[in-house]
Amino acid sequence: MDPYALKALNAERRARRAAILVTDLGDGRDRIVREGDQVAGDLGAAIAKAFRSGNSGSVEAEGRTFFLNAHLPQPRLVVIGAVHISQALAPMAKIAGYPVEIIDPRTAFATPDRFPDVALHAEWPEDVLKRQPLDSYTALAAVTHDPKIDDFALKAALDANCFYVGALGSRKTHAKRVERLLALGAAADQIARIHAPIGLDIGAASPAEIAVAILAQTIYAFRSRGHDVSASAQRSESILEKHDA
């Protein structure tokens, strides 16, 4: 492997940025393609597919054979709120392959007894997220129902382009949340990415059922990255209309 390509690949991995090592099997030359780089033709289409799936493999393009070695950061789930939903969600997400971190400054809730074997931060989101920034391979679920705790984290998730952002609450609650986020400087197209009410609509009633709905929606968002933009665009237009009215 080309040492310069290896150095570049390791730098991307340390920064939790997706990259693909593209090797021309004809002449052995390597190059690094970063997520967002533009590559034309059939090779570009194959690279885009590999970024979505995370799968490595050989492809035929432009009359040559290439091997695509995909390196994607492990997706993780950050939950704002050490509540009953979080107690059910954490072990489910771990089984599904999503490391979980829970943030809640309320020390009565954020206790190791309630959340064994979970990365738990009994601190304000502002403090934790300064040390451990969010990124595009992070999902964020805000479930405290407390704007003082949730809003900063939601704005940070939107700014970091987290692949999934969800927030607990009714549509009426979310309408008020939208106004607060606009006041914090979030754009309408950013806010439109928030899934609220949170979770797939499966008629969930109990905390465990809501946790299932959240995890399912998180997995769907990760596996369909870059595909489903129409619903978000419609929500963005709706937010602007309501705000301008």
What per-residue confidence (pLDDT) applies to 104? 98
Residue with tokens 């099997």: 25
- 50 vs 230, residue with greater confidence: 50
- 91-130 pLDDT tens trace: 999 999 999 999 999 999 999 999 999 999 999 999 999 9
**Six token digits for residue 9:** 């690949």
For residue 185, pLDDT beyond 80? yes
CB 139, CB 167: distance < 8 Å: no
Distance between CA atoms of 220 and 198, rounded to whole angstroms?
13
For residue 67, pLDDT beyond 60? yes
CB 58, CB 42: distance < 8 Å: no
- DSSP letters, 21-82, are EEEETTT--EEEEETT----HHHHHHHHHHHHH---EEEEETTEEEEEEEE-PPPEEEEE--
For residue 239, pLDDT beyond 50? no
What per-residue confidence (pLDDT) applies to 7? 92
Write the single-letter amino acid at 164.
Y
Neighbours of 63 (CB within 10 A): 7
SS3 2: coil
What per-residue confidence (pLDDT) applies to 240? 45
What per-residue confidence (pLDDT) applies to 106? 98
Residue with tokens 């704002």: 80
Least confident of 65-69, 159-163, 188-192, 237-241: 237-241
pLDDT > 70 in the chain, percent: 92
- 28-61 pLDDT tens trace: 999 999 998 999 999 999 999 999 888 999 999 9
CB 93, CB 55: distance < 8 Å: no
pTM reported for the whole predicted model = 0.83
Q: Identify the H or E element spanning 77.
A: strand 76-80
- DSSP-derived pairing of the beta strands 76-80 and 100-103: parallel
CB 102, CB 115: distance < 8 Å: yes
CATH numbers and ranges of domains, the chain: 3-71 (no CATH), 76-244 (3.40.50.720)
Distance between CA atoms of 206 and 195, rounded to whole angstroms?
19
What average pLDDT is seen over the chain? 92
- DSSP-derived pairing of the beta strands 30-34 and 19-24: antiparallel
**Six token digits for residue 124:** 């304000």
Q: How far apart are the first and last CA of the chain?
A: 59
